[in-house]
Amino acid sequence: RAHYGNKDMLVSDGPALLDRALELAPSGVPCYSELPAILNDFGTLYKYSGDFQQARSSLNEAYTKSRGCLGPAHSMTTTILYNQAAVASDMGDLARAEDLYRRTIRAWSERLGPNHPFVANGLQNLAGVVSRRGRAVEARQLLERALTLRTRSSGAESPNVAETLIRIAETMIASRNAAGAVEKIDQAIAIYARGNRPQNPDSVARAYLLRGSLLVQQGNFEGGREAFANALSERERRAR
């Protein structure tokens, strides 16, 4: 599995590499436990390369193999389910994505406990799908649950908490609560300003851009200009 992590190689050689991996599976073994993981890895790499059809095909096969070989409650089976949900979301199949995320959250809650950080990740991704389906209030409720779990597991100063606050702000924007959205964004920016930098380097700039847009809509042009300048500074800092 260590030899097929290059995405560019996957685009041209992926099918041949997968065939080779399958050839290396022990003959006469009815349940080769590594096969679901191999298929999942290929599905994920296809997703990152933009080949969503091939990603879905690989992940569907991975799920079937994992469920049959490792069992429906195995961690690999749930991981594949989560990746299937992400691909369905990327493909715009939101009803399927919602169903898969709910099944993933249920599986993680049963296996790891309802307060596990994985559950928070699932809730946040589910909220994104629900919001895209036009249910902003429900999305916010899911994000508030995720925020509680993330605060409990990572602490109030975690960049993950800041990211969830920004997601909550986006649902408030959809519900036309601009003042509430600005308050959540300011909380996130304050976490970043205290040195708690996010994994995604563009998250800070995105927070400032959202803040600037909202302030301009409220007629606060000076505040909006300052926020946009901060966003530009963040992106220039990243480019250095």
Q: What's the rounded mean pLDDT across residues 164-187?
A: 94
State how far the alpha carbon of 229 is from the alpha carbons of 162, 178, 205, 214, in Å: 20, 20, 10, 15
Instruction: List phi, psi (to 5°) of 72.
Output: -65, -20
Q: Give the pLDDT score at 28.
A: 53
Q: Residue 238: which pLDDT band, with cuts at 50, 70 and 90?
A: confident
The identity of residue 194, as a single letter, is R
Distance in angstroms (rounded) separating the CA atoms of residues 206 and 80: 30
Q: Residue 30: which pLDDT band, with cuts at 50, 70 and 90?
A: low
Of residues 198 and 215, which shows the higher confidence score?
215
Average pLDDT, the chain: 88
Instruction: Indicate if the pLDDT at residue 18 is higher than 80.
Output: no
Find out whether 150 and 110 touch, Cβ atoms under 8 Å.
no
SS3 sequence, 108-167? HHHHHCCCCHHHHHHHHHHHHHHHHCCCHHHHHHHHHHHHHHHHHHHCCCCHHHHHHHHH
Instruction: Indicate if the pLDDT at residue 175 is higher than 90.
Output: no
Distance in angstroms (rounded) separating the CA atoms of residues 153 and 149: 6
Instruction: Indicate if the pLDDT at residue 44 is higher than 60.
Output: yes
41-45, 104-108, 141-145: least confidently modelled range: 41-45
Of residues 207 and 21, which shows the higher confidence score?
207
6-20, 73-87, 140-154, 214-228: least confidently modelled range: 6-20
